[in-house]
Structure 1
Amino acid sequence: MLLAQSRFAPASLMGKVGLTLGAAALIALSAKVQVPFWPVPMTLQTMAVMGLAVVLGPRLGLAAMVSYLAAGLAGLPVFAGAAAGPAYLAGPTAGFLLGMAAAMLVTGHLAQGRATLGRGLAMLAGLATIYVPGLLWLSNFVPSERVLAAGFTPFILGDLVKLVVALMLIEGVRRITARR
């Protein structure tokens, strides 16, 4: 059973909606913690998305990511920086954001019922799911020989560290709640 659904969320529709909206808010907050790079800023979103995918599973994780994207499309300033609206999703980071939605499905599905190592491997698969469409879309904005330098090389080490931190947080909370 999924961690959040089995320990924290009620089985009711309202409980799931509340959990989904809370997760979308966490994704928005993680976008605001950033190191400004161009054309793609470094944020804590990969940590939030991967952690939420493991905890919520594929369906609620995807619902949270879609809610986050819908809030940004509607004009709420949830994206990195102060940007919002449809124009932001036509910019250089759009592929990464859409990859995060796909990563919710991939990571959430692969992590179900797995132990710590399996969850970590699911997160790595999710990270690849973010990078592939992200780099492909970014190639519309930077010359192809600079795509890796603009959208991969400065980020990969930090993303791997964020995955380890997310995994440690998940395991810590799981152990604390298992004692109760």
Structure 2
Amino acid sequence: MALALNDKVLTEAFGPSEGTALRVKQAAMVILGIAALAIFAKIKIPMWPVPITMGTFAVLTIGAAYGPRLGLATILGYMIVGALGFDVFASSSAEAYGISYMMGGTGGYLVGYVLATLALGFAARAGWDRSVLLMAVAMLAGTALIYVFGLAWLSVLYADKGAAWVIGVGLTPFLIGDALKLGLAALLLPALWKLIGNARS
């Protein structure tokens, strides 16, 4: 069954909707989105077995809030900023940055970020961001995309280590934290839509 991709996404529910003012709003949203991605990537919350980083939370929520086109522009802008050498990724630093960092173990996950942003954007365009259940399904699909490409790239880089090592390093330590982030993100978008509806009623 094809999705009906004609619903508004969250960022289209407020502010100008046409002309130059719309373009200014969209440019501002892209800049704010890139800044949010960079800031959230650096947030680490103590957790077992590894700290929770909030980068994937920002990727998924921005994808859903912005829609496929604006979301894609934002995540690509974020990647360009990182490729230029700015310290905007979760584990980048003054010593590890830019293209060389992006081609390392994080590279596949970054590709997954782009595809997850698109997936969440299309899901929101189909109206899934109004439902906690459907938003959870979309968030799960987006998270799966991030892992598929992340683990695939780790398998290429560390072909001699074997699949069990790749999964043990690149998947299982993060499952608890990602489940918590997924649940929070799935609750957030429908709640924001409800707030907007209440404000206009």
Q: 1:3 maps to what in 2?
A: 10
Residues 59-116 of structure 1: CA distance to partner in whole angstroms, max 9, x if unpaired? 1111111111100111111112314211111110110011100111112112321231
Give the deviation of 1:7 after TM superposition.
2.4
Q: Is the 8 A contact 1:10 1:16 kept in 2?
A: no
Aligned-residue sequence identity (percent) comes to: 36
1:122 is matched with which residue: 127, 135, 138? 138
Residues 112-152 of structure 1: CA distance to partner in whole angstroms, max 9, x if unpaired? 21231222211111111111110000123441220110011
For the aligned residues, what is the CA RMSD? 2.0
Q: 1:51 maps to what in 2?
A: 61
Q: Is the 8 A contact 1:111 1:118 kept in 2?
A: no
Write the letter of the residue equivalent to 2:135. Answer: R
Q: Secondary structure at the match of 1:179?
A: helix
Q: Secondary structure at the match of 2:80?
A: helix
**Structure 1 stretches of 5 or more lacking a match?**
none
Distance in 1 separating the partners of 2:66 and 2:75: 11
Write the letter of the residue equivalent to 1:151. Answer: G
In 2 relative to 1, CA 8–51 (structure 1 residues): closer, same or farther, beyond 3 Å? farther
Write the letter of the residue equivalent to 1:165. Answer: L
Choose 1 or 2 for highest CA Rg: 2
2:99 is matched with which residue: 66, 86, 91? 86
Write the letter of the residue equivalent to 1:15. Answer: K
Give the deviation of 1:8 after TM superposition.
4.9
Deviates more, 1:152-161 or 1:81-90: 81-90
TM, length-normalised to structure 2: 0.81
Q: 1:67 maps to what in 2?
A: 77
TM, length-normalised to structure 1: 0.89
Q: Is the 8 A contact 1:57 1:109 kept in 2?
A: yes
Q: 1:178 maps to what in 2?
A: 197
Q: Secondary structure at the match of 2:135?
A: helix
Distance in 2 separating the partners of 1:41 and 1:59: 32
Q: Is the 8 A contact 1:9 1:19 kept in 2?
A: no
Q: Is the 8 A contact 1:135 1:152 kept in 2?
A: yes
Q: Is the 8 A contact 2:55 2:90 kept in 1?
A: no
In 2 relative to 1, CA 138–8 (structure 1 residues): closer, same or farther, beyond 3 Å? farther
Q: 1:147 maps to what in 2?
A: 166
Residues 13-54 of structure 1: CA distance to partner in whole angstroms, max 9, x if unpaired? 121111011111111111101369xxx985211111111111
Write the letter of the residue equivalent to 1:23. Answer: G
Write the letter of the residue equivalent to 2:30. Answer: T
